[in-house]
Amino acid sequence: MSDELKEALEKVFAADSALYQDRGFQRRVGFGERPALINIDLANAWTRPGHAFSCEGMDVIIPSVQQLLAASRAKRIPVVYTTTAYAVTEGPNTDMGLWHRKIPAELLKLGSDAVAIDDRIAPEADEQVIVKKRASAFHGTPLAGFLRAAQVDTVIVTGVTMAACVRNTVEDAIAEGFRPIVVREAVGDRVAGVVAWNLFDIDAKFGDVEPLDRVLSYLDGLELRNAL
User: Are residues 110 and 86 in contact, defined by beta-carbon separation less than 8 angstroms?
Assistant: yes
Buried b (16+ CB within 10 A) or exposed e, 14-41: eebeeebeeeeeeeebebeeebbbbbbb
DSSP letter string over the chain?
Answer: --HHHHHHHHHHHHHHHHHHHHTT--------SSEEEEEES-BHHHHSTTSTT--S-HHHHHHHHHHHHHHHHHTT--EEEEEE-BS--SSTT-SSTTGGGTS-GGG-BTTSGGGSBPGGGPPPTTSEEEEESSSSSSTTSSHHHHHHHTT--EEEEEEE-IIIIIHHHHHHHHHTT-EEEEEEEEEE-SSTTHHHHHHHHHHHHT-EEE-HHHHHHHHHTSPPPPP-
pLDDT score for 82: 98
Q: How far apart are CA 228 and CA 225, in angstroms?
A: 9
- Percent of the chain's residues with pLDDT above 70: 94
Q: What is the mean pLDDT of residues 92-105?
A: 96
Q: State yes or no: pLDDT of 189 exceeds 60.
A: yes
Contact 114, 51 (CB under 8 A): yes
Given the residues 61, 105, 165, 204, the one annotated as active site: 165
Instruction: Decide if pLDDT at 228 tops 60.
Output: no
**Per-residue pLDDT reduced to its tens digit, 100-118:** 999 999 999 999 999 999 9
Mean pLDDT check: name the lowest of 7-11, 71-75, 104-108, 222-226.
Answer: 7-11
Known active-site residue 55:
no
Q: Residues 74-89: what's their mean pLDDT?
A: 97
Residue 217 reports pLDDT greater than 60: yes
- Angle (deg, nearest 10), helices 167-175 and 194-205: 10
Pairing mode of beta strands 154-160, 35-40 = parallel
Global confidence as pTM: 0.92
**pLDDT tens column, 33-69:** 999 999 999 999 999 999 999 999 999 999 999 999 9
Which domains occur in the chain, in start order?
34-220 (3.40.50.850)
What's the pLDDT at 11?
65
For 153-159, what is the mean pLDDT?
98
In which band, very low, low, confident or very high, does the pLDDT at 225 lie, cut at 50, 70 and 90?
confident
Q: pLDDT value at position 3?
A: 72
**Selection from 41, 10, 189 nearest residue 114 by Cα:** 41
Q: What is d(CA 86, CA 41) in angstroms, rounded to the nearest whole number?
A: 14
